[in-house]
Structures are given as C-alpha cells and as structure tokens.
Amino acid sequence: MKLGKILSAILALAIILNFNGCSKKETGPIKIGVLLPLTGSKANFGEMEKNSFELAKEKINKAGGINGRQLQFIYEDDTGKPDVGRAGAEKLITVNKVPLITGGYSSSVTFAAAAVAQQYKVPFLVNTGSVDKITEPEAFNLTTKDGDKFYIYRLNPPVSEYASGLETLLSEVVKPKTVFIIHESTAFGTKGAKSFKKSAEKLGIKVLGVQSYSEGTVDFKPLLMNVWKKRPDVIYMISYVMDAAMLMKQARELGVKPKLFVGAGAGFTMPEFKANAGPASERVVSATLWHQTLPIKGAKEYFDNYIKKYGGNGPDYHGAEAYSAALVVADVLKRCNGDYSKENIKKALDATDMMTPFGPVKFTSYGKKIHQNKMRTYVVQWINGELKLVWPKNLANAKFEYPINWNKVWK
C-alpha cells in the first residue's frame, strides 16, 4: 500500500514537472535544411556553398554549438531545376521537419522553393538566389504590410543592385558611349539585363542591343559576330561559369575587342572561369558582392581556412554568402532560447543585426521588398591569373588596368 502511494506521488510529480516545462531537455542535434544544386550544370556553385556551410558548422559546433547542442545541416539537391527544388523544399519541411531552410542558389529554383516555404509558413533564409521578386510579397499574393505573414528573408543583394559599384567605375573612369548586353535566358539573366539597361541609360550610355541565349549553348560565335558588328565600347555579360568561359574563349578566337568586357558576377568570379577560359579570362572585369581583401572581420580568415581544408584557389562571393548564412542561422537559433518553433525563429530573424565575413546583415524594407539585407557591391578584374579587387579605389588591392591592349594581353 505504501509502495503504491509512493509510485502515485512520483507519477503526479512527473506530470506537474512536464506541465511546467521541466520535461527532459533535448540534447540531439538541431537540424536545419539547406537547398543547393549539388549535381547538374550548377554543381560547382553548390559544391562551394556546401563546403562553406560545412566549414561554418565545424566552427560553430567546436565553439559549443547552439547553447550546447550541435548544429546539423540536411542537404537537398535541387539539381538546378525549379520542380526539383520545389520538391526538395517540401521534403525538408514535411519529412525532415526542419524549422528553417537556408541556401537557395539559382533564382528560378529559389523562387519556386520560396513559394513552398511560404505556403508552409517555414522561414527561408536565402543566401544567393537574387531575382528581385524573391523578397517582394506581391509575388506571393501578399502586400508589403504583411511582414508578419511573410517568411522569406534574403542575405544577399537582389540582382537589380549588383551593378551599383560598377556604375561608378564606368561613369568615373571608363566613360563608355555604348554597350551591348548578352544574358542567359533564366530569371536571373533576364532581370539582370533589364536592370543594367536602365543603369546604362541613366549614365548616358547608349544600349546598342540586348541579346539572350539558352542555357547549354556551346556555339556563341554567331551571337558574338552580330554583337561585334555594332562595335560597342563595352560588352556586358550575365552568364553562369561554363557559358562565361565559352563566351570569352570564342570572343578571343574571333578577335572581338571592345574597350572592356564586363561580367555581372555569377560565373565571372568563379575560379573555374579562369581555369576554363584560360588567357581569354585576362583583364575581364566583373561586378562582385565580396572579396577576401575587404576590411571585414573574418573575411580573410574564412578565405584562408577554406583553402586549407578544400584546396584550390579559394572561394568567391558565393562561398562567403553560404558561410555567413550559416553564421546567421547559428545566431538566430541561439537567440531562440530553446524554442525552435517556426514562429520563434521568424521573430529572431526579424531582430537580426550582426556582422558576418560577408558584411553586415540586417533585414529591412524598402520599395517593394521586405526582409531584404541591403549591401554595397564592388568590382573585380582578372589580372595575371588572379581575381583582384579594383573598385572602389579606396578599398582596392590592385590598380584597375585600363585601357587594355588586347593584342598584348591575349598574345
């Protein structure tokens, strides 16, 4: 009888403790979803970003993890295709039960996945997908006043702002009179071309033409010859890495020699661009969102640690975005104080205000956008096989080489 009373008392105490939130504390890893192109034509970008997520995770967990718990990333391969990305996001949410998704490389895939995250009301921290509408609630049938209902956040600038640093270089130094725009036909390329056309017109640069091409094109010579007939001062290209390399190799073969070749980030800053374009990569200029020599705490450390672990020539801005997104995820989770519900994570994202190796991160609203991090952009140039920061001048680690003697550079 006495034993029965003791057992009843223990059971009652357990029930009381459980109702008061004193149940057994969870100790397993905190699982966060990451959507990246790990196979397919954009796998080189996905590999760099996955490596960077893993590098950050090791640093976070070595320092004690998330309030004593380990951080774990669950990766879904979107293969660079919107329908696969959509399915991957749904799997992370409904099967893996993650309370937060990050990653998101190509714009079309990221937008498709963002629609799924919005539908399930799961926060999605985008770190690379750049088409403007990703952080525009109207694209998801909401209004800019619906911040409490909008679950999409973006660390990187939108594509319409990529050329902001480049604009000053063109207007102050190059001063071109004409430009021709070439772009791949995805959402990223199309929106980027439209935005740069407006920028050029604002600067008084005559746009001689805008020409798109399909992903997977291997023969750019007819396109390049049509462009060169117009003799533009600048050829502006929006391309992923293999297309970027092929465009420049074939431009060199044809003797296409404008005053300046300019890339819009994407493939033109990747180490694989130089490896595949060879001598044709020399003196090509590109907009960029980051460089390891910028006076940002942790930027050079991340770059050096990446090379130490993975080798190669080091990461570009895509890797820095992913690495910093992982640090933002850790900061957000730490501020959740053990409550990793979707709504609590969303509140923590709203309050984010931190410095990362990619730069400052604070989600703001302007124009049609909300939950958008606003950052400055820069200009790099391939000089003697190295990607150098050349603009703005006060931050540069190399002198911008212009005018360019293509006969000498291309030998």
Cβ contact 29:61 at 8 Å: no
Angle (CA) 269-59-36 rounded to 5° is 45
Task: Write down the CATH superfamily of domain 161-288+378-410.
Answer: Response regulator (3.40.50.2300)
At 54 the pLDDT is: 98
State the Cα torsion 79-84-88-89 to the nearest 10°: 110
- Convert the pLDDT of each residue in 58-70 to its tens digit: 999 999 999 999 9
At 362 the pLDDT is: 98
At 146 the pLDDT is: 87
Q: Where are the beta strands (DSSP E) in 92-146?
A: 101-103, 124-126
Q: Are strands 178-184 and 378-383 parallel, antiparallel or unpaired?
A: unpaired
- Contact partners, residue 204, CB within 8 Å, separation at least 6: none
pLDDT band at 27 (very low <50, low <70, confident <90, very high): confident
Nearest to 376 by CA among 353, 394, 364, 358: 358
| Average confidence (pLDDT) over 260-288 | 95
| Average confidence (pLDDT) over 231-239 | 97
At 332 the pLDDT is: 98
CATH of domain 30-157+295-373: 3.40.50.2300
Model confidence at 2: pLDDT above 90? no
At 380 the pLDDT is: 97
Nearest to 181 by CA among 218, 206, 161, 216: 206
At 411 the pLDDT is: 82
At 8 the pLDDT is: 54
Mean residue pLDDT across the chain:
93
Domain chopping of the chain, boundaries: 30-157+295-373, 161-288+378-410
- Convert the pLDDT of each residue in 190-205 to its tens digit: 999 999 999 999 999 9
